[in-house]
Amino acid sequence: MVVVAVTTDGSGVGQLDLFGDPTTPPAIPTQRVPSRIESNDVDLMVTVAANAVRCGYLLVGTAERVYARTDADDRVARVPRYEEDAVHQLLRRRWLTLGAPHHVTCGAAHLVGTAVLVPRATRDRIACWERLQRPPSWPTDPRPPRDADGRLVHLDDYRRTR
């Protein structure tokens, strides 16, 4: 049996709950809350910061989606979620800063993104971390692979083919 009551304020008909009080419909969320995933993986943070130096990242749209440059012709590709979270964490920690807007292309879409810059202090920290010797208790060397010139290779090799 459903009991329907008319509210006294004239706002219309509502359903009573178990204790006789009028119920209100649940609020519909308007926007997803941005994730605040924090990582303590130093290797990931150093690799993402080094990739910001090497290829460059862009934040696109109000959701600040992260894209990485794939070539010199202003083409970009979306990065994986874990890399996006790492870029946002480095921005919050001020290891990375924001620069000027740039017009880029992702497939057939023309986007305007804000460049992510790497301060000199961050570059020095990256170089320092790469020179450190790993403790013997750490597992095998998880450092990112390098090409013949000693530069870091892409985290996501799929970006090269696009």
At residue 145, the pLDDT reads 57
Task: Quote the number of domains for the chain.
Answer: 1
Q: What is the pTM of this model?
A: 0.63
**Helix, coil or strand: residue 9:** coil
- Concatenating the DSSP letter of every residue in 20-72 gives SPBP-PPPPP-SPPPP------HHHHHHHHHHHHHT-EEEETTTTEEEEE-ST
Residue 12 lies in a domain: no
Residue 143 lies in a domain: yes
Residue 55 lies in a domain: yes
Q: What's the DSSP call for residue 7? A: -
At residue 34, the pLDDT reads 54
Q: Which amino acid belongs to residue 143?
A: R
The range of the structural domain enclosing residue 128 comes to 42-161
Q: Grade residue 5 by pLDDT with cuts at 50, 70 and 90.
A: very low
Residue 8 lies in a domain: no
Which of 140, 138, 135, 87 is closest to 114 using CA atoms?
A: 87
At residue 33, the pLDDT reads 54
Residue 77 lies in a domain: yes
Half-sphere exposure of 13 (CA within 13 A, CB side): 4
At residue 158, the pLDDT reads 43
Residue 20 lies in a domain: no
Question: Using one digit for the tens of pLDDT, what is the confidence trace for 9-57?
Answer: 555 556 777 777 777 766 655 555 555 668 888 888 988 999 999 889 9
Residue 128 lies in a domain: yes
**Helix, coil or strand: residue 160:** helix
Contact (Cβ atoms closer than 8 angstroms) between residue 53 and residue 123: yes
At residue 15, the pLDDT reads 74
pLDDT at residue 161 is higher than 60: no
At residue 97, the pLDDT reads 94
At residue 147, the pLDDT reads 60
Total Cβ atoms within 10 A of residue 84:
21
Spell 135-146 as b/e; 16+ CB within 10 A means b: eeeeeeeeebee
At residue 49, the pLDDT reads 93
Question: Using one digit for the tens of pLDDT, what is the confidence trace for 50-108?
Answer: 999 988 999 998 889 999 998 877 889 999 998 999 999 999 999 999 999 999 998 88
